[in-house]
């Protein structure tokens, strides 16, 4: 008797599946604590919920036919898989853990109401069969919540592990940046000491009463050259300090890159000629861009001065132009020299 009743209840629930889903959807969307689900389309909101109802219907039908233990174990595995997939989907949709459990609780309420309505509409349905049906649903609903939460929690752990790796990489990058910053300051201090040493030596030579006019002239040229280098180095250190202190801010304005770079190259011509080098500028007739003219000139000037400094023969060529066709919002300038480069070996050209 109980088996046929469960079979009839299974058929009824299959017919009423759409109505149960609609009642559940209304309960979810009207719940003020379930804000994520209210923004999802119907198909994404339903997700694996219909499969959970199908699992319940199938279990009732198998119970009515006295299914063996292997069949029931297979049904339970399928049910666990559906519930775990539901947890995965909800995690991907941005649900928090409370929402995952709460919406399954709303499903439980809708199914319980449907069972009560069926019992009232069918007074001949035995209380024993209904109690067994409720136990089947209670077990499946509990398993669904457990599997969904377990899957969700595992994904949270994986995400947390990924965050830890990202933080460790960021910390390592920060350490490398600090080491690079310390190296830059060490090099700056070394260069300052070197230039100051030369200045002190030249000053002492000039002050010596035994120095001849020829030696005084040599000391004056040495002093002039190193005072200029010291001034440039102090400007670089000041710029580095302002940059690291967050005091450098861009002032964007319309400018002609060709005019700016062309004027800079003209101003630096004497510096290149003193070393017996050429300094050439090549570019279009005009290149209207947007940028910070002061900082752009400073960057280009530092690059050109360094190129002249490390070039012993030939010269330096400065070019500029538009960006690539796939990146029209950018422009470029290039400083190319004929020197060996900063890290050239003995046999480099």
Does residue 205 fall inside a structural domain? yes
State pLDDT tens for residues 194-228: 767 777 777 877 778 877 778 778 777 777 777 77
Q: Residues with Cβ < 8 Å from 305, sequence gap 6 or more?
A: 232, 268, 271
- Distance (Å, rounded) from C-alpha 90 to C-alpha 342? 55
Q: Is the pLDDT of residue 9 over 50?
A: yes
What CATH number is associated with residue 295?
A: 3.30.565.10
- Dihedral sign for Cα 148, 153, 154, 156, please: positive
On whether the pTM is more than 0.75, the answer is no
- Where is pLDDT greater, at 63 or 328? 63
Does residue 348 fall inside a structural domain? no
Q: Is the pLDDT of residue 168 over 90?
A: no
Does residue 137 fall inside a structural domain? yes
State pLDDT tens for residues 41-80: 555 555 668 888 888 888 888 876 665 544 454 455 554 5
Domain count, the chain: 3
Does residue 342 fall inside a structural domain? no
Residues 239, 262 within the same domain:
no
Q: Residues with Cβ < 8 Å from 134, sequence gap 6 or more?
A: 112, 115
Of 223, 244, 265, the domain-final residue:
244
Of 217, 244, 271, the domain-final residue:
244
Confidence of residue 266 (pLDDT cuts 50, 70, 90): very high
Contact call for residues 27 and 109 (beta carbons, < 8 A):
yes
Does residue 86 fall inside a structural domain? yes
Chain length of the chain:
349
Does residue 344 fall inside a structural domain? no
Kind plus residue range of the DSSP H or E element containing 257 = helix 257-267
| pLDDT on residue 87 | 62
| pLDDT on residue 347 | 39
Domain residues for the domain of 186 are 176-244
Tabulate helix, strand, coil % of the chain (nearest 5): 70, 10, 20
Of 244, 270, 295, the domain-final residue:
244
State pLDDT tens for residues 111-149: 999 999 999 999 999 999 999 999 999 988 888 778 777
Confidence of residue 278 (pLDDT cuts 50, 70, 90): very high
Other Cβ atoms closer than 10 A to 48: 20
Residues 133, 227 within the same domain:
no
Does residue 227 fall inside a structural domain? yes
Residues 210, 303 within the same domain:
no
């Amino acid at each position: 008797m109980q088996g046929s009743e469960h079979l009839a209840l299974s058929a009824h629930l299959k017919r009423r599946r759409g109505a149960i889903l609609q009642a559940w959807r209304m309960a979810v969307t009207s719940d003020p604590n379930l804000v994520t689900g209210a923004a999802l389309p119907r198909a994404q909101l339903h997700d694996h919920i219909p499969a959970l109802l199908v699992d319940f219907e199938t279990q009732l039908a198998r119970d009515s036919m006295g299914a063996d233990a292997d069949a029931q174990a297979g049904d339970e595995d399928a049910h666990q898989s559906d519930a775990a997939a539901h947890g995965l989907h909800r995690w991907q949709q941005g649900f928090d853990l409370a929402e995952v459990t709460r919406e399954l609780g709303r499903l439980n309420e809708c199914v319980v109401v449907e069972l009560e309505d069926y019992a009232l509409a069918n007074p001949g349905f035995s209380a024993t069969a209904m109690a067994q049906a409720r136990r089947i649903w209670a077990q499946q609903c509990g398993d669904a919540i457990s599997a969904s939460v377990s899957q969700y929690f595992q994904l949270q752990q994986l995400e947390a592990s990924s965050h830890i790796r990202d933080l460790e990489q960021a910390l390592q990058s920060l350490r490398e940046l600090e080491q690079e910053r310390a190296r830059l300051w060490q090099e700056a201090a070394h260069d300052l000491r070197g230039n100051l040493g030369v200045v002190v030596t030249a000053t002492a030579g000039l002050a010596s009463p035994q120095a001849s006019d020829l030696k005084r002239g040599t000391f004056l040229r040495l002093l002039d050259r190193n005072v200029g280098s010291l001034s440039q180095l102090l400007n670089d250190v000041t710029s580095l300090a302002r940059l690291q202190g967050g005091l450098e801010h861009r002032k964007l304005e319309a400018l002609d890159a060709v005019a700016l770079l062309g004027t800079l190259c003209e101003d630096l011509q004497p510096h290149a000629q003193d070393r017996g080098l050429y300094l050439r500028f090549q570019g279009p007739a005009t290149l209207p861009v947007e940028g910070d003219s002061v900082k752009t000139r400073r960057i280009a000037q530092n690059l050109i001065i360094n190129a002249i400094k490390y070039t012993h023969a030939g010269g330096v060529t400065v070019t500029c132009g538009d960006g690539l066709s796939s990146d029209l919002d950018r422009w470029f300038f290039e400083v190319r020299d004929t020197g060996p480069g900063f890290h050239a070996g003995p046999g480099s050209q």
